[in-house]
Every structure is written in structure tokens, then in C-alpha cells.
Structure 1
């Protein structure tokens, strides 16, 4: 009998950040991410066991008796932290990412995860001078390398995706290849080869549902109003309500039109293309080669 795949999900947030997130969304980012990966693996015909670790926490360690080499893949979630602040909680995650590279385990990250992996490989993350990209990242374009990369297999050459970030990878590390870009953020996706490992990551959030995205926007509504994305909290509330309605019924053409969201974004399988590709092209073959699948 084929054994289950084992994935380690690294929580990007501090205890305070993940508790704040769970209070609105009902789950921590890492628990949500683990659930998504489990469902996607099942769709690929594989069973999956997930562990969660908290590299931002003081004294946090891997589950008892485990080491990184024992996993078939490691994924890092998003976070409300900023690497350019060089806080201990951020630097601890950079050290964790270096350890993942050293272990040679298939490695993936969304948003913060991409930034952490880039910093671990010698790159630099800064505040995006163009400001926050939030809601849906528009007109993401595959680069020439991206069109040939398994990371984006099945993607249109230009696409939209859920996103929320104010920072960007400003200096690429050696061994990094940009695979997708857009007008607001030069590094929307990248492959990073460093040490013994290969990282695939995206600045957007393929894992998100619209309800998850709406919960985050509800939490940061005052910031969104202050930055001019909405004129009032009431206007923000209407936008979030539309997101939730579209999640409940992706066929709501009226809502999709009102929000300017393409069918490829409302389709959860297309939206999660990069995660599916990582599981099928990186995790499963590596596990098989190691005699673990």
C-alpha cells in the first residue's frame, strides 16, 4: 500500500498574528493551507499527512522526533510581518528556509513564503514603492522562463490571482529565475535554486478562497480606507459581501462582472494551478524517487 505523502506547513505569523487571523477567518493561515493541500493531493490520487510548525515562535521546533529530510515537501504561508524590519520573528524564518534548502526538500511558498525564500538565498525584500497590491493581482504575465516552467503548467500567458501584499522581492538572489511579473510587482513568481534545494513560489495567493480573502480585507478595512482603496467602511463591506457571495456561487456572473473577476479566477482548480503543479511535478516525483510513494 502506498504510504501518504508528508508535508510540513510552516506558519508565517507570530502567535498574535495568527490568533487575530483565526478570530476572523476561523482558522490560522497554516491550518487553512494544510487543508487546501490535503484536498489537492486527494484530487491527484494521493493521501497526505500534514504537520505544522511555527518558526516565528521563540523556541519552536519541528514535531517531536522529526527532521526536515523526513518530509516530502515544505510550504510556507503568508504573514503580516515585514522582512525589511529585520525583527527576530522574521529572521528566524529566514534561518528556517535556509535549513529547508540545505535539506533538499521540495519547497513552496505563497507571498511571504516567496519573500522568505528569496532572503534565505541572499536576496532582499523591501516595501513596494508602488504601494499595496490587494484583492486581485491583475495582468500577471508569464516570462519566457515561466512559459517553460512546470510551476505554471496550464496557465494562460496572462492571468489574475488573489493577492495582498505591500512588500516585494526587490533584489533577486543568485540562482533565482523570475517566472511571472506584472505592472505592480516585478517578481510575481520565481524559481530559486540554492544549496541542495529548489523553491517554487508566488507573490500571490493561489490557496485563497474569496471568503478567506474577504476575511482579511474585513480585518484591515481601516487601512484600506486610509490608503484610498475604499471611500468608507460601508463600501468595503459591500466589496467583501460580493467576494463571499462569489465564493458561495462561482456562477454569479453579476458579482464577477461587478468585481472584474475572470472565470479563471473563480474556478478554484485554475486558481490553484501553482500549488497543484508543485504537488504533481515536485513533491510526488521526489517522494517516488526516494521510495516513499
Structure 2
């Protein structure tokens, strides 16, 4: 019997449709495709808690899933608008359900706030393109979420906000020079969440599309000198996605196998499925 996942889309309708028009898939659809590429026989339902009147699973519905995954989002959680509050409430219900959960970027931030942590803009500014020199903490070196990662590694990333106050039962698993919380385990109300501030689900192609739509930000915040430079960077990433053997581009942008190899890039998602989802499914008697 295959696994059943709920993918929780963090974006509002307009943002996810814009992503689909540019990339061909909504972020939640892309995330579901990554999961199905890892597991194979898998059902992935999608929820849109940012939509007014969204039909969301109740407690029994959440418990019926083998795993729950939260995507990134364009929202800022400290704004506490209704489309954000509904996602925090859903995450609290996810904790209470006991269903294994995982999140990238916004997903980690929602999980932290739902467990009484806090998230604010990073005073060092935005992290764009790749999160560099991610390093496991002492606890992270032996934690199954980071199993297979080297001592230092890079990963696709784009975020301004970060976890600034840890929830009560939180273990930080990885950090870098930009953010002290790049990976974490959070325990709350009987549930266990694993999350990362970066995006192991992003291919370089998807990252290129996202950056290509944000050239103004890249120039305004000093990452690129001109819009043409920003578009050239996005194009290089897109080319490298199609042809990972382009050593010249990999060397130019400092992209190694931890990003280029899909199995290594998606390591945290694979570990979540192997060590949390499958284990919990067996413990629940669903194997």
C-alpha cells in the first residue's frame, strides 16, 4: 500500500498561479512531484489554507495522512493577516494530530510560530540563490534529518525572514553565517516537525524561474548590478539544470553535487520519508 501525503500550499491564489504560469506547476504541485519521484506509489492531496473558506481537513482527516508537508510562501508571518492565521491554526492541528510533518522555508516559520516561537526579518538581509556553508550543530550531526549530508553543504534558498525566537521544545540542527536556524526539529502537543529554512525541493530550473521574476529585488538589494546581470544569473542556473555537466557554469557559481545531484539535493525530504513517515506508518499499523 502506497503512502498518502498532504501538501499544504503556503501561497495565496494569485502567487501560486503566477508561479504556475512561469514554471508550469504551482509550488505545491512541484513539491508533490518531488515526493512522488522519491517514493513512487504515492497519493498527494493539496490544501490551500490561505484561501478564504478553504475546505481543510479536520483532526481525523489529518490523522489519515502518513505525512504532511508545508511549502514555502511569499507571505510574511508577522503580518498576521487572516490568510496567515489560518495556516498557523492548521499547523497547530497538525501537531495535535501526531502525523509526521515537514516544511521548507515558510513551512519552518509556520511550525515555529504555531509552537509559540517567533519569526522576524533577518537583520543581515535576504538569502538568495544558494544558502552557503550550511553546518550541522552537535545535535544535527547525529540527527536522521541530515543523514548523508557532509560537514558543510549548500542548498537552494530564497528568504528574508527567519526564526528569531525558538519554541520551547526545539532542537536546532543546522546553521550558517546568514541564519542561526537553518534546520530544526520542533515538538509540540504530541507532534514532531522537521524543517529547513532552505528549499531542498527546488531544482535549479525552478529556482531560476523564481529569481527571474525577482530581478528588481536582486538589483535593489545589491545582489546584481543590473537587471541584465540578474537575468543572466537566472539563465545560467536554468542552463545548469538542463545540463549538469556544464562545469564552467558550476565552477562560476560555486554549485556542487549537493545541489546538482537530485538525490543529494532532496536529502532532507528523503530522510523525512524514510525515518519519520515510513516508521510512523509502521508504528500505526498501516504497513
Q: TM-score, normalised by structure 1?
A: 0.96
Aligned residue number for residue 39 of structure 2: 41
Distance 2:261 2:108 in 1: 24
How many equivalent pairs are there?
287
CA RMSD of aligned residues (A): 1.3
| 1:1-293 correspondence runs (5 A) | 3-42=1-40, 47-62=41-56, 67-293=61-287
Deviates more, 1:183-192 or 1:14-23: 14-23
Unaligned 5+ segments in structure 2 are none
Q: Secondary structure at the match of 2:123?
A: coil
- In 2, are the aligned partners of 1:93 and 1:116 still within 8 Å (CA)? yes
Distance 1:193 1:290 in 2: 19
- In 2, are the aligned partners of 1:84 and 1:127 still within 8 Å (CA)? no
Distance 1:130 1:27 in 2: 31
Distance 2:234 2:217 in 1: 15
Q: Secondary structure at the match of 1:67?
A: helix
Deviates more, 1:228-237 or 1:7-16: 228-237
Unaligned 5+ segments in structure 1 are none
- CA separation of 1:87 and 1:65: change in aligned 2, threshold 3 A: closer
Distance 2:274 2:126 in 1: 32
Q: Secondary structure at the match of 1:138?
A: strand
Residue 23 of structure 1 deviates from its aligned partner by 1.6
Distance 1:221 1:92 in 2: 31
- CA separation of 1:195 and 1:65: change in aligned 2, threshold 3 A: closer
Distance 1:213 1:207 in 2: 10
Distance 1:136 1:110 in 2: 14
Distance 1:65 1:156 in 2: 38
- In 2, are the aligned partners of 1:179 and 1:191 still within 8 Å (CA)? yes
